[in-house]
Amino acid sequence: MGFARASESPDAARFDAWLADGCAADLDYMKKTPERRVDPGRVVTGCRTVIVGSVGHWFEDGATTAELPTRFARYARGRDYHKIQDGMLKRLCRVLDEETASETGARHTHRFYVDYGPVLERSWARDAGVGFVGKNTMLIDPKRGSWTTLGTVLTTLELPPDDPITVGCGTCTRCIDVCPTDAITEPGRVDARLCISYWTIEHRESIPEAMRIAIGTRVFGCDDCQDVCPWNRFAQPSTIDDHRPRELFVDADLARLAGLSWDAWDAATRGSAVRRVGYEGLLRNVAIALGNSRDERARPHLEELTRHVSPLVREHAEWGLARLSDDERA
């Protein structure tokens, strides 16, 4: 946890340029009232301090036994981090109220967010000394790496600010070099229009054919830029039981995912960040991954998905069959 003095973010101009260049794709919530996102005083009147807390979610991978292996982004394998950190931040705000009321009798305003509010979390985390922003745009804690998620509290309390961390990426460019779609267009900038995480999680409709091959066998997000980051050798297992990966997302198998009914998906993803992509969206991604597996064992699963009630799933399953057969269209 760290504390930063509330003011207009020094990244305001970079954020505006990122939006102007179209790098937010169709993430309209990023474009809504950008002036509030860069200035906490426009969100909480009289805001003096931004409190930022990071929570680690890393668990070591086990050996794979899946027939057709796939991967979910590491942050999404357990309970939804929003739900985990909401409770933490509510308790923090309650403590702030109790402490300040007993000391001064004054009431202060606190508002918390877990990346669903108009806050540039990573910028404030950097300013609060929680970590530094890497070339892959991830917040990197030199003691734990980047396998963390952030929560923020905007408060009218005046709290002494922490010093920013002075270390960084140095000359390392592993994340830029490994990105399968060149989505890291320059150090510290990701173009959502090229990012696999955007296409497999945020995009709701058909995925352009040019992106489908790059997605490979991923079905929810992409951790490549974090997998190669040298700072992640310091990752520590989470001590929060809710972060423990769920059974469906451990050693994930495309063969099993392809056969999920809506009811089974609903039960497996309840309280999970994977729910964001939706049932049809997950099967859309599974169909792409099955085709990209180039494994004949994927064929019956794709054939079954071509008969799915969803036109979106059928479209991508037909593409997957063509890809599996090395059809020139794919």
CA angle 241/247/248 to nearest 5° reads: 130
> How confident is the model over 244-253, as pLDDT tens digits?
999 999 899 9
Residue found under tokens 């890393």: 58
Q: Which domain holds residue 293?
A: 2-324
> How confident is the model over 290-319, as pLDDT tens digits?
999 999 999 999 999 999 999 999 999 999
Position 270 in a domain:
yes
Position 330 in a domain:
no
Q: What is the percent of the chain with per-residue pLDDT over 70, rounded to a whole number?
A: 98
Q: What is the mean pLDDT of residues 204-209?
A: 96
Position 148 in a domain:
yes
Position 117 in a domain:
yes
Residue found under tokens 């301090």: 49
For residue 330, pLDDT beyond 80? no
Residue 115 bears catalytic tag: yes
Query: What pLDDT shows up at residue 234?
Result: 97
Average predicted confidence (pLDDT) for the chain: 95
Position 141 in a domain:
yes
Q: What is the mean pLDDT of residues 279-296?
A: 97
Looking at 16, 26, 115, 162, which residue is catalytic? 115
Q: Do residues 120 and 52 lie in contact, with contact meaning Cβ atoms separated by under 8 Å? A: no
> How confident is the model over 22-31, as pLDDT tens digits?
999 999 999 9
Q: What is the mean pLDDT of residues 200-206?
A: 97
Domain count, the chain: 1
Q: What are phi and psi of 145, to 5 degrees?
A: 80, -155
Position 329 in a domain:
no
